[in-house]
Structure 1
Amino acid sequence: MLEEAEEIGRRVRRARLRLGMPQADLAAALGKTQGWVSKMENGLIELDRVGLLNLVAAELHVHPNDLIGRPYNSSPAENQWQVSAASILRELRRYDLAPVFEGTPRSSGELWGEVTRLHRLRDAAANVAILRVLPDLFREARALAEVSSGHEQEEAYAIYAVCCKFTHTAAHALGHPELIAMAGERAAWSARLSGDPVLPAVADWMRVWDMWATADWSDAVTLSDKALAGIQRDYERGEPLAVRAWGTLQLRAAVSSARGGRTSETEDRIAHARAAADRIGEYTGPPVYDRHSLTFSPGNVHIHAISVALELGKHDSALEIDRRTGPELVAVLPNSRRGHHHMDLARAWLWEGNRDKALTELETAERTAPQLIRNHPIARSTLRSIVYAERSSTREKLRRMSDRFRLDG
C-alpha cells in the first residue's frame, strides 16, 4: 500500500502520454502548476479528494478506478464477491427475458421483508453480504412481475428497482464500474414500471453519483434539479418518502456543487437539505417504511456539510462544523455513514497537521465500517500520508540526534 501513490502517479503519466498531452496542458486543465503535476506523477502528492481524483481521470479520459487500481488486489477469499457480482450482471442483462425461477414466487409483502434484511446489511456497510443476497432476490422479483398484474406487479418492479439501488451502492464501495452502470440503467427501467412516484427520482439520484466519475459537476446539478422537480409537489404536501428523497437529492447537489467549486450554491443546497430534515423531524403520523433505502436525517445533513467543506478545501470549516454539532446526531446514523464521517474527519485533522487525531479518526472509521474504509481510495490516501509524514518526522529526529552524537564524525 505504501507504493500506491507512486503507482497511481505512474498510471497518470501513462494515461497522459497515451494522449500525447504535455504536463503543462494537464496542469492548466486542473488549475494546477506543472510542478504539481510532476510531483503527483512521481508519487509525492496524494489525490486526497474524490473530486480531484475524478477530475484528473476525466481529463485523461479514463475511469477513476483505472488510476487507483480498484478493485484492490487481495486474497482469493476477499475476491469472492466478484462471483456474486457476475451473477447479478447476468440477471440484469436478461432483464426483459422470461425469468429462470422454479416454483411460485413469494408475494411482494414477503419480498419487501427480504429488502429489509438488505437495509440492515447496508447500514452495517456489509457490501459483500449484500451482493450474495441479490441474485436470488432479483430472480424472484422478476418472476413475480411476470406472473402478477396490477398493484402486485408494480410492487415487484419496485422491489427490483430497490435491489438495483443496493447493487449500485455495493458496487461503488467495492469498485465495479460495469455493475454500477448496469444497475443504474435497470433501476431507471424498473422504476418507470413500478407505479411508485418517488422511485424515478431515486434512479436519477443514482445517475448523479455516476456523473461524478467523469467530473460532470454541472450536469450532476442539473439532473438533481430534474429529479427534484419530479417530486416537488409531493414534497410540498409533506409526503414523508418524497421529503426524504428531496432532502437526499439536495445533498447530492451540494456535493456536486462543491466539487465544481461553487461555494455559494453548495451552502444553499445544504440549507435546503437541512430544511427537509426539519420537516422529517416535525412529522407526527404513523411510522413510514423507508422502502427506497434513503437514510436521511439531520445527522446525514451534518456529515455532508463536513464532507463538502473538505471538497472545497476548507478543513478548518469542517472541524468547526463538527465542534458545534452534538455527537448524538452522528451516533444514530448507520455504520456506513458513520464510517465515512470519521474518514472525513481523519482527512480534516491531517490537513490541520494533527496526525495523532487523524489516525484516531481513521481507526474509528475502520472499526465502524471495515469493508467500506479499507476499499475507499481517500481512506487509503489519508493513511499513506500519515505513514509518509511519520517516516519523514522519524528520519529528521534521527538526523538531529545523529548530529548531536556526532555519528558521522
Structure 2
Amino acid sequence: MLEEAEEIGRRARRARLRLGMAQADLAVALGKSQGWVSKMERGLIEIDRVGLLNRLASELHIHPNDLIGRPYNSSPGENQWQVAASSILRELRRYDLTPVFAGTPRPARQLWQETTRLHRLRDAAANVAIMEVLPDLLREARALAEVCTGHEREEAFAIYAVCCKFAHTAAHALGHPELVAMSCERAAWSARLSGDPVMPAVADWMRVWDMWATADWEDATTLSYKAIRSVQEGYDQGEPLAVRAWGSLQLRAAVSAARGNRRSEAEDRIAHAKAAADRLAEYVGPPVYDRHSLTFSPGNVQIHAISVALEMRDQRRALAIHRRTSPELIASLPSSRRGHHHMELARAWLWDGSRDAALAELEKAERIAPQLIRNHPIARSTLRSIVYAERASTREKLRRMSDRFHLDG
C-alpha cells in the first residue's frame, strides 16, 4: 500500500505520454503547476480529493479505477465477490430475454420483503454480501414481470430497479466500473416500466454519481436539477418518498457544484436539503417504507455539508460544522454513512495538521465499516499521508538526536 502513490504517479505518466501530452499542458488543464504534475507523477503528492482524482483521470482519458489500480489486490477469498458480480452482469445483459427461472416467482410483496435484507446489508456496508444476494433476486423479479400484468408487473419492475441500485452501490464501493455502468442503464429502463413516479428520479440520482467519475460536474448538476423538477410536485404536496428523493438529489447537486468550484451554489443546495430534512421530520402519518433505499435524513445532510467543505479544501469549515453537529445525529446514521463520515473527518484533521486525530478517526471509520474503508481510495490516501509524515518526523527526530550525540564526528 505504501507504494501506491508512486504507482498512481507512474500510471498517470504513462497515460499522459500515451496521449503525447506535455506536463505543462496537463498542469494547465488541472489548474496546477508543472511542478505539481512532476511531483504527482513521482508519487510525492497524494491525490486526496475524489474530485481531483476524477478530473485527473478525465484529462488523461482513463477511468479513475485504472489510475488507482482498483479493485485492489487482495486474497483469493476476498476476491470471490467478482464471481457474484459476473452473475449479476449476466442477468443484466439478458434483461429483455425470457428469464431462466425454475418454478413460480413469489408475489411482489414477498420480494419487497427480500429487499429489506439488502437495506440492512447496505447500511452495514456489507457490499460483498449484497453482490451474493442480487443474482437470484434480479432473476426472480424479472420472472415475475414476465408472468404478471397490471400493478403486479409494475411492482416487479420497481423491485428490479431497486436491485440495480443496490448493485450500483456495491460496484462503486468495490471498484467494478462495468457493473456500475450497466446497473445504471438497467435501473433507468426498469424505472420507466415501474409505474413509480419517483423511480426515474432515483435512476437519475445514480447517473449523477456516474458523471462524477468523468468529472462532468456541469452535466451532473444539470441532471440533478432535471430530476428534482420531476419530483417537485410530489415534494410540494409533502409526499414522503418524493421529499426523500428531492432532498437526496439536492445533496447530489451540492457535491457536483462543490467539485465544480461553485461554492455559493453548493451551499444553497445544502440549505435546500436541510429544508427537505426538516419537512420529512414534520411528517405525520403511517410509517412509509423507503422502497427506493435513499438514506436521507438530517444527519446525512450534515455529513454531506462536511464533504462539500472538504471538496472545496476548507477543512476548518468542515471541522466547524462537525463541532456543531449533534453526536446523536451521527449515531443515528447507518454504519455505511458513519464510516464514510469518520473517513472524511480523518482527512479534515490531517489537513489541519493533527495526525493523531486523523488516525483516530480513520481507525474509528475502519471499525464501523471495514469493507468500505479498506476499499476507499481516499481512506488509503489519508493513511499513506499519515505514514509518510510519521516517517519523516521520526527521521528528523533521529537526525537531531544524532547531531547531539555527534554520531557523525
TM-score by length of 2: 1.00
Which residue pairs with 1:307 in the alignment?
Answer: 307
Which residue pairs with 1:75 in the alignment?
Answer: 75
- Look up the equivalent residue of 2:49 and give its one-letter code: R
- Look up the equivalent residue of 1:100 and give its one-letter code: V
Alignment of 1:4-403 (within 5 A): 4-403=4-403
Deviations along 1:233-271, one digit per CA (max 9) or x if unpaired, are 000000000000000000000000000000000000000
State the shift of 1:317 in Å: 0.2
Deviations along 1:139-167, one digit per CA (max 9) or x if unpaired, are 00000000000000000000000000000
Which residue pairs with 1:405 in the alignment?
Answer: 405
- Look up the equivalent residue of 2:328 and give its one-letter code: E
Q: Distance in 1 between matches of 2:295 and 2:315?
A: 25
* Secondary structure class of the residue paired with 2:196: coil
Deviates further, 154-163 or 324-333: 324-333
Q: Distance in 1 between matches of 2:216 and 2:224?
A: 12
- Look up the equivalent residue of 1:107 and give its one-letter code: P
* Secondary structure class of the residue paired with 1:79: coil
State the shift of 1:325 in Å: 1.3
Deviations along 1:23-59, one digit per CA (max 9) or x if unpaired, are 0000000000000000000001000000000000000
Q: Distance in 2 between matches of 1:292 and 1:164?
A: 11
Q: Distance in 1 between matches of 2:210 and 2:325?
A: 31
Q: Distance in 1 between matches of 2:2 and 2:286?
A: 52
Q: Distance in 2 between matches of 1:366 and 1:333?
A: 16
Q: Distance in 2 between matches of 1:6 and 1:316?
A: 29
Q: Distance in 2 between matches of 1:221 and 1:389?
A: 37
* Secondary structure class of the residue paired with 1:296: coil
Structure 1 unmatched runs, 5+: none
Q: Distance in 2 between matches of 1:143 and 1:326?
A: 46
Q: Distance in 1 between matches of 2:352 and 2:42?
A: 24
Q: Distance in 1 between matches of 2:237 and 2:227?
A: 17
Moved beyond 6 Å, runs of 4+? none
- Look up the equivalent residue of 1:63 and give its one-letter code: H
State the shift of 1:229 in Å: 0.7
* Secondary structure class of the residue paired with 1:77: coil
Q: Distance in 2 between matches of 1:237 and 1:173?
A: 35
Q: Distance in 1 between matches of 2:290 and 2:35?
A: 49
Q: Distance in 1 between matches of 2:370 and 2:149?
A: 42
Q: Distance in 2 between matches of 1:371 and 1:86?
A: 20
Deviations along 1:99-131, one digit per CA (max 9) or x if unpaired, are 000000000000000000000000000000000
Deviations along 1:265-312, one digit per CA (max 9) or x if unpaired, are 000000000000000010011100000000100000000000000000
Q: Distance in 1 between matches of 2:326 and 2:89?
A: 42
Q: Distance in 1 between matches of 2:325 and 2:332?
A: 14
Q: Paired residues, what number?
A: 409
Q: Distance in 2 between matches of 1:90 and 1:357?
A: 45
Q: Distance in 1 between matches of 2:77 and 2:59?
A: 35
- Look up the equivalent residue of 1:177 and give its one-letter code: P
State the shift of 1:137 in Å: 0.1
Q: Distance in 2 between matches of 1:263 and 1:369?
A: 30
Deviations along 1:59-91, one digit per CA (max 9) or x if unpaired, are 000000010000000110000000000000000
Q: Distance in 1 between matches of 2:29 and 2:226?
A: 28
CA-atom RMSD in angstroms: 0.3
What is the percentage of aligned positions where both structures have the same residue? Answer: 82
Q: Distance in 2 between matches of 1:78 and 1:117?
A: 22
Deviations along 1:322-351, one digit per CA (max 9) or x if unpaired, are 001111111000000000000000000000
Q: Distance in 1 between matches of 2:88 and 2:298?
A: 34
Q: Distance in 1 between matches of 2:285 and 2:336?
A: 28
Q: Distance in 2 between matches of 1:327 and 1:260?
A: 30
Q: Distance in 1 between matches of 2:351 and 2:104?
A: 57
Structure 2 unmatched runs, 5+: none
Q: Distance in 1 between matches of 2:263 and 2:406?
A: 53
- Look up the equivalent residue of 1:208 and give its one-letter code: V
* Secondary structure class of the residue paired with 1:78: coil
* Secondary structure class of the residue paired with 1:44: coil
State the shift of 1:169 in Å: 0.2
* Secondary structure class of the residue paired with 1:21: coil
Q: Distance in 2 between matches of 1:60 and 1:7?
A: 15
